[in-house]
Structure 1
Amino acid sequence: MTTLTAPAAAPAARPATPRNRASALQQALTLAWRNVVKIRHQPEALMDVSLQPIVFTVLFLFVFGGAIAGDWRDYLTYLVPGILVQTLMFAAGGIGVALNNDITKGVFDRFRSLPIARSAPLVGAVLADVVRYVTSIVVLLAFTTALGFRTAQGLPAALLAVLVGIAFAMCLSWLFVWVGLTVRSAGAVQGVGFLAMFPLTFGSTALVQAGTLPGWLHAFTRNNPVTHLIDTVRGLMLGGPVAGPLAWTAGWAALLLAVFVPLAMRAYRRRV
């Protein structure tokens, strides 16, 4: 007589504990260092964020500076915070292309076979992108300082402005993580990124004051999250209101994380 035994119950998922979270963070940092080492062996990966700030500055400063401000030297002070934010916004899109390439090459299939947290590869990629942000800012500030740009609020305030910009770019990068995991090709990721970033960066106060714009565009510009970030950076570097724009920037950053981190994790589970 055969005795039937009930199938064993599936083990319950382990609740997140401080130790598990610390382990996941350590794994993410390890994978971030992997990406940094890869950049060190392929320095051409930083070519876009190294040349783009110079190209944007030369283009907007010398082509439009005289028409907008009468003299490019007068326009330089207003322009630099806008170019800083604009450069960070475009740099944030690179992570989507890199992740899409890694998935296509099967890199994430190897990560799936490792005993690591599901979130570690994505968090590690976001953390490693800080190298790109810092590179772009250093190049921009070195170039514009040589042209005569000076901050009016001192070095601590300027460093805080840079940190706020980098923090927002890291939050924004989760949108591109989701795009990179959702679309089929790296070219499509790049196309979506430019389509999203151009109206946000050029429809902001990066290049001109909002008051010079027509009514419908003025309304869009004043409610643009990139405008709030630029106003924060400009206030910290040059003087002006900071608390209001900073609160809006923090709110937009929190919204980006709340929406796109879960979407990116869901897309990652489906893709790999």
Structure 2
Amino acid sequence: MSTFSLTVRDSSTMLRRNLLHARRYPSLTLNLLLTPVMLLLLFVYIFGDVMSAGIGGGGADRAEYVAYLVPGVMLMTIGSTVVGTAVSVSNDMSEGIIARFRTLAIHRSSVLVGHVGGSVLQAVASVVVVGAVGVAIGFRSVDATPLEWLAAFGLLVLFALALTWIAVGMGLISPNAEAASNNALPLIFLPLISSTFVPIDAMPGWFQPIAECQPFTPAIETLRGLLLGTEIGHNGWLAVAWCVALAVLGYVWSKSVFDRDPS
């Protein structure tokens, strides 16, 4: 059997292990999923009339704000879900299971690939749930073509992959699950200071560069453009560039930490 075949086999085994673990202990995923769902409902039904004043020159209604909000919350869901990956990796490191895996005749990277694959699948499933909630409260994407839907799905998967590798690195450097959860807080915090809830031009001038110069805003604007037909502009290539850069950074960082001598 070739090295590639062994790597695929071992990675599949580790992926199955992580999916079984998530199925047996769903509380962490559910807790992380509830945050974006509750924010979606809160900002639509409690703050919707007020927040919609910042959309379209102040003439938007609640339905238009739902359309504006849902793509941002979808990407926020990815940031929330991958926090569980950091916690899971940290638990594996602190409980000694990684040390046991190191003694087995398996491809070293398959342990990390299993975590990443499982996390991406969970993130996409969580986005589907949030999207279903969005549809239930009025979100519609009637003008998007099948190609645009495919591009939107690809962007969500790529974004999930990038954030997952960063979360894996955070989990590897954390001494325990609590520290991993704290280290991964930027993945939840950054969407709050992006264009998720209001347009950039509705923010104070001094704050706009903060909201613009981060990965969530161009990804959100690209997703909105694909699903709602709004202008994408330079956000498309910026979103892809952020995803590729974060994925490469996370992979190199995680592999470097994981390959260190455990002693």
Structures share a fold, TM > 0.5? yes
Deviation sequence 1:211-230 (CA, Å, 0-9, x none): 01122211122222110110
For 1:256, give the aligned amino acid: L
Query: Which residue, out of 57, 74, 87, partners 1:97?
Result: 87
Deviation sequence 1:120-142 (CA, Å, 0-9, x none): 10011100112321221121121
Comparing 37-46 with 261-270, which one deviates more in the overlay?
A: 37-46
2:125 aligned counterpart, secondary structure = helix
Q: List alignment gaps of at least 5 residues for structure 1.
A: 1-17
Determine the structure 2 residue equivalent to 1:169: 160
- Cα 1:57–1:271, aligned 2, differ >3 Å: closer, same or farther? farther
Aligned-pair CA distance for 1:172? 1.5
- Within 5 Å, which residues of 2 pair with 1:61-76? 61-69=44-52, 71-76=61-66
Aligned-pair CA distance for 1:101? 0.7
Aligned-pair CA distance for 1:47? 1.4
Check if 1:118 corresponds to 2:101: no
User: In the comparison of the two structures, how many residue pairs are matched?
Assistant: 254
Would the aligned equivalents of 2:195 and 2:217 in 1 still touch at CA under 8 Å? yes
2:195 aligned counterpart, secondary structure = coil
Determine the structure 2 residue equivalent to 1:7: none
Would the aligned equivalents of 1:168 and 1:253 in 2 still touch at CA under 8 Å? yes
Determine the structure 2 residue equivalent to 1:268: 258
Check if 1:197 corresponds to 2:187: yes
Would the aligned equivalents of 1:53 and 1:83 in 2 still touch at CA under 8 Å? yes
Comparing 200-209 with 37-46, which one deviates more in the overlay?
A: 37-46
| Distance (whole Å) between structure 1 residues aligned to residue 188 and residue 95 of structure 2 | 29
Determine the structure 2 residue equivalent to 1:147: 137
2:259 aligned counterpart, secondary structure = helix
- Cα 1:183–1:216, aligned 2, differ >3 Å: closer, same or farther? same
Comparing 60-69 with 38-47, which one deviates more in the overlay?
A: 38-47
- Cα 1:148–1:155, aligned 2, differ >3 Å: closer, same or farther? farther
Would the aligned equivalents of 2:120 and 2:164 in 1 still touch at CA under 8 Å? no
Determine the structure 1 residue equivalent to 2:58: none
- Within 5 Å, which residues of 2 pair with 1:1-272? 19-69=2-52, 71-151=61-141, 152-154=143-145, 156-194=147-185, 196-242=186-232, 244-270=234-260, 272=262
Q: List alignment gaps of at least 5 residues for structure 2.
A: 54-60
For 1:257, give the aligned amino acid: A
Comparing 47-56 with 143-152, which one deviates more in the overlay?
A: 47-56
Of all paired residues, the percent bearing the same amino acid is 29
- Cα 1:45–1:213, aligned 2, differ >3 Å: closer, same or farther? closer
Determine the structure 2 residue equivalent to 1:12: none
Q: Which runs of 4 or more aligned residues in structure 1 lie more than 6 Å from their structure 2 counterparts after TM superposition?
A: none
Aligned-pair CA distance for 1:59? 1.5
Aligned-pair RMSD on alpha carbons? 2.0
Tell me which structure has the larger Cα radius of gyration: 1
Would the aligned equivalents of 1:92 and 1:170 in 2 still touch at CA under 8 Å? no
| Distance (whole Å) between structure 1 residues aligned to residue 230 and residue 64 of structure 2 | 17
For 2:67, give the aligned amino acid: T
Comparing 257-266 with 179-188, which one deviates more in the overlay?
A: 257-266
For 2:52, give the aligned amino acid: A
1:270 aligned counterpart, secondary structure = coil
Deviation sequence 1:24-59 (CA, Å, 0-9, x none): 133112210111122233343431244233212111
Aligned-pair CA distance for 1:76? 0.5
Would the aligned equivalents of 1:32 and 1:127 in 2 still touch at CA under 8 Å? yes
1:60 aligned counterpart, secondary structure = helix
- TM-score normalised to structure 1 length: 0.86
